[in-house]
Structure 1
Amino acid sequence: MAYRSGYEDRHDGFYQIPHLVNQWAYYFYHHIRERNIDEIQSMYEVSFLKLSDRYYKAAPWPEVQHIQEVVDQDHVFCLLYKEMYFRHLYARCQPTLRDRCDSWDNYCDLFGLLLTSNVNMQLPNIWLWDMVDEFLYQFQSFCQYRGKVQSMPPEEIENLKKCEAKKVWNTIEVLNILQALVDKSGIVAEVEGDGGARLCEQNGYYPHSSNVLRMLGYFSLVGLMRVHCLVGDYYTALKAIYPLNLHERRYLFTQRIAGAHITLFYYGGFSYLMQRRYLDAVRCFNAVLLFIYENKSQYRNSPQFDQMLKKNEQMYQLLAICVALCPVAAKSLDENVLMQLRERHSDNMTAMNRSDIDVYDTLFREGCPKFVTSTPPAYDQATTNTNQLAFRAQLNAFLLEVRAQQTLPQLKQYLLLYSSINLARLAALMDCDEGALRQQLLCLKNKQRQLKWDGGKDMTAGTWTVASDLEFHIDVDPETGLEMVLVSDTQQVATYAPFLAHHIARFEQIIADLTVPRVAAAPPTAVRA
């Protein structure tokens, strides 16, 4: 019997921890000590969830002091258990300010221990990713929570001020922890050396060495990108993932952890989108949407399946925006992704081609991440939800770019109809004067130029390229003396060789599978009497 304390001390009385829970903690602890990865992963991914559904469906797990005796009061295990405890609490209950502060303290203790001690344990890579992912989710949740200060009672505001003074879930502190994990792990030098080949070959587990700090450092690169993206610093977000390469995925370890892979490409693609690099954004979204399309059946029974589908829908919304703003980018889409895009957003893309700002607004709202402000609100003067301020700043920046291109689809349609046209006549068709038309032509010329990745590990680098299927310039007709818009169609003849080669290879594989001789079933063995 144990007295309810901590989260549970709001209720009077005693309770008894179920025998199966005590047993789970005992074996979980011993498997970690024995570095038995398979058993640890099974108990982490399967047993913990089953016990949660059976005993703690809408309640927190027992606090750490209630299971200390069965785990020999091991300090490291207790920190790991508390990490899972708070993650379950966030998922199934409504965390209080005290819970948020306690979870922050636990992460600081856990990561601090890993950074300052000689770690020799092995943990499943999926758990290490979940640690980083949950750490950032709780940071995001705290920023969203404090943004609603106008609806808090005075006592809670005072407690929140104390948390801010202690830098609880402070943006700079979060970035410092992630960067410290990256630096201490040495993962940048390792991946820079061979591109991540050995990491993938060994699946992150090297003989006679711990994978904990190494993989936390690797996943922290993704975490750094996410935080910078949430505060609207898209250039630094792409800089932060060096030396990971979004466009060369052969040795990209995140492919083995679906959540990490989706997070990396979602925030990478969004960062490119907000920098008007639509070709690179489409390339990112295409890669990860194809990954989900080919692998989602494996995760159908996973607790992350719903989140995977949500991110999948968000990325199709962002992809629709990219293709509407840069139609030529659609040529690089995989046939399956393009088919799904048309099925989901055909009407929206038609509306965006007519420069319907409301559709852009809606798709951006639904597809963008939940932005946060890097600084706390003015608690004594807060009268509005500051979360909306962060979102509005990014939405307005995006819509400003969209409005700058509002007349360009119509202008482009007219240019596609002619090989040359009188400037005055084109102005009449566009229902504007020649001065305004020149500005629109210059704007179209400018928007057709994009920075496109050209190789290397720096995701911010690239060369300027023309992202359009037409080219034009203004010249004076020597016979009439009139200014003419001369259009040259730069659209390349479609080549179907890669498409045919891809399907020939698939058919050959199918034929090879069909011609493999079946293994004869073993004859039934006699049953001894």
Structure 2
Amino acid sequence: MASNTDACVPAALTDFVFDLYDSVTLSQLTEEQSRLYNSEFSDLSKKYFSNAPWPSPQAIASECNGDPLFLAFYRELTHRHWHAVSRPTLRDRMEGWDVYRELFDELLMVAEDDASSTSQPKLFILPQWAFDILHEFVYQFQGFCQFRTTLYASAHKHNLFSGEPSPKAPHHVVENLALMRQEDAADVWSVETVMYYLQRLVAIGTKSSVPVYQYFGIFASVTMSRLECLLADYTSSLQSLAPILEATAVVTKADQPVMTFSEIVSSVFNARLSLTYHAGISFLMLRRYKDAANMVGSLCSFMQRGFKTGQLRKQRNSDQLYKNYDRMVALLAIVTQLCPQQNLVEEGIAKVIREKHGTALAKDNYTELFTFCSPKFVSPVIPDFNKTGPTENVYKLQVNLFETEVASQSTYRELRSYLNLYTSIGVSKLTSFGNDEKSLLALKLKMRQLESNNADAPSLKDASLKSALDIHFYLENDEVVHIDEAEKQRRFENYFMSQSAQSFDIRKDACAVDTTL
């Protein structure tokens, strides 16, 4: 992407590129690179490029000795900025594919060289930077898939596949259709290649002891989980997290404390948010309601405290954090309704659920909640842009599957309310209420679900079948139903733990205040 600023590059920009290159290749200091990446790049973008692209890599190549890997990082960084401040065209989206392929090809090649070298690694970038690259990679893949599907539907609507296209067809639709009909367009943002790069990065990250490759491996697992969730492969979405949650390796860097893979994810809040949200959606769709509540509920409680103390307002894109928090609260509203249990979520979150979604839950309006909290699912299928054909709405398909799953929930809730009134009840009497033995069996089977033995680790390997019912019942002689409500436990420890965590966060912020004069 050529830029009009190539002819006159500001001195502040060349200084920034020189310093950033030094922090990536020579000094490799975390604090210095954090200042450059998180502050100076944003400040320069606002001052010089608020609605324009940054100079091309060729314009600043002299500041980094023409290093091809650094130039690939620079190209991705500036492309990501332009993608955020503009309305990307199809050409921009296709160029993005070239940007990421160039970066990952260079990165994988250098990683192989570093693996066979005993000298200092040639590269260091922040965990936040590594996550931002991979997060944007999957985001642009998702956007391209949605754009492609919309374009195919528009071309079909305007009869552009026949011999006599509509004269009213928009010019941009005709132009974009011509681009997608080019021979090399079929390979752009193909799901197979996207997965190939993520899997290669995961493999290198799990074998390497170099921090930067470990970062890419860790966050490639997080984004792979997100990708599988978007493709509606929920089992694979959870399995993609194994390199993080089951890892025994640690990350060691001279100017940073030793950290586990899980701690690295927690150090980048957006990565922790992405992992938790997509794991929660996967648990929900796999009918693992208690795991979804444990996973998402703990993060929502943390975010609720962070919003109260102002800690999360310091994060980049804090407005987006509020939106993601609301989506996860809606997800928890569904889970707590489908799996009614004492202390499934903290009381503070339960109160928010009642305030925000009490009306929808009272009306059994699960579809409204699901469409609000679910991701924008995509189809990996590439349409044939040379002929018309049926279009599949993957998002509506997932909504329909969810509606089928919850269709009988009102019946189960009514049955459960009757059982709560009795210690024993005759089958004939229960039948007069509109329920029978089949409903009892269906309720038991519906609430039989996989549950992680460790609530903090969403692992398919360490899970077993358990009942999520909070009311126990059995049938005697096919005549009488005996009910034994599960013992209610008052979880005082939840309150004290939440208060301790809140006090720790406040103390941490207070200690960080500079009191020197």
TM-score under structure 2 length normalisation: 0.82
* Aligned residue runs from structure 1 range 299-310, under 5 A: 299-310=312-323
Matches of 1:16 and 1:485 in 2, distance apart? Answer: 87
- Corresponding residue for residue 369 of structure 1: 375
Aligned to 1:489: 484
Q: 1:109 Cα deviation (Å)? A: 1.7
- Larger CA Rg, structure 1 vs 2: 1
- Asked if structure 2 preserves the Cα contact closer than 8 Å seen for 1:148 and 1:385, the reply is no
For residues 268-417 of structure 1, what are the structure 2 equivalents within 5 Å?
268-296=279-307, 297-328=310-341, 331-351=343-363, 356=364, 359-382=365-388, 386=392, 389-417=393-421
Question: Partners in 1 of 2:324 and 2:280 — Cα distance?
Answer: 12
State how far apart, in whole Å, the 1-side matches of 2:441 and 2:87 are: 54
Change (3 A) 1:507 1:322: closer
Distance 1:490 1:163 in 2: 65
Q: Does 1:22 align with 2:28?
A: no
Cα distance in 1 for partners of 2:502, 2:333 equals 31
SS where residue 79 of structure 1 aligns? Answer: helix
Structure 2 counterparts to residues 420-435 of structure 1, below 5 A: 420-430=424-434
1:442 equivalent in structure 2: 441
Matched, 1:169 2:189: yes
Whole-Å separation in 2 of the counterparts to 1:278 and 1:503: 22
2-side partners of 1:14 and 1:165: how far apart? 29
Residue 74 of structure 1: how far off its partner (Å) = 2.3
Partners in 2 of 1:379 and 1:314 — Cα distance? 35
Pick from 124, 132, 135 the counterpart of residue 133 of structure 1. 135
Partner of 1:151: 154
Cα distance per residue 1:15-46 (max 9 Å; x no partner)? 63333223322322233232233222111111
Residue 122 of structure 1 deviates from its aligned partner by: 1.3
SS of equivalent to 1:492: coil
CA separation in 1, counterparts of 2:37 and 2:495? 45
List alignment gaps of at least 5 residues for structure 2. Answer: 115-121, 156-172, 249-259
Hey, what does 2:51 align to over in structure 1? Answer: 58
For 1:253, give the aligned amino acid: I
Paired with 1:405 and 1:350, the residues of 2 have a C-alpha distance of 12
Question: Which stretch shows the higher mean deviation, 407-416 or 159-168?
Answer: 159-168
1:244 aligns to what? 244
CA contact (8 A) 1:469 1:489 kept: no
In 1, Cα distance between equivalents of 2:493 and 2:32: 44
How far apart are residue 232 of structure 1 and its match?
Answer: 0.6
> 1:219 maps to what in 2?
219
Q: What SS does the aligned partner of 2:482 have? A: strand
Structure 2 residue identity aligned to 1:363: L
Corresponding residue number in structure 2 for 1:257: 268
SS state of the match for residue 186, structure 1?
helix
Task: Give the deviation of 1:500 after TM superposition.
Answer: 6.6
Report how far residue 7 of structure 1 moved: 5.1
CA displacement 1:472-494 (0-9 Å, x = unmatched): 22333xxxxxx534232232132
- Tell me which residue corresponds to 2:465: 464
User: Is the contact made by 1:7 and 1:99 (CA closer than 8 Å) also made in structure 2?
Assistant: no
Q: Which moved more, 1:443-452 or 1:454-463?
A: 454-463
What residue identity is the alignment partner of 2:10? P
| Residues 271, 25 of structure 1: alpha-carbon distance in 2 compared, 3 angstrom cutoff | same
Matched AA of 1:452: E
Q: How many residues align?
A: 467
In structure 1, C-alpha distance between the alignment counterparts of 2:499 and 2:373, rounded to whole Å: 36
1:287 CA displacement = 1.9
Q: Using the alignment, how far apart are the partners of 1:163 and 1:213 within structure 2?
A: 34
Amino acid at match of 1:338: A
Equivalent residue letter for 1:407: T
Q: CA 1:146/1:446 → structure 2, altered by over 3 Å: closer, same or farther?
A: same
The 1:305/1:385 distance shift into structure 2, 3 A limit, reads farther
Farther off after superposition, 495-504 or 47-56: 495-504
**Offset, 1:316:** 0.5
Question: Is contact 2:291-2:458 (8 Å) kept?
Answer: no
Amino acid in the other structure paired with 1:151: S
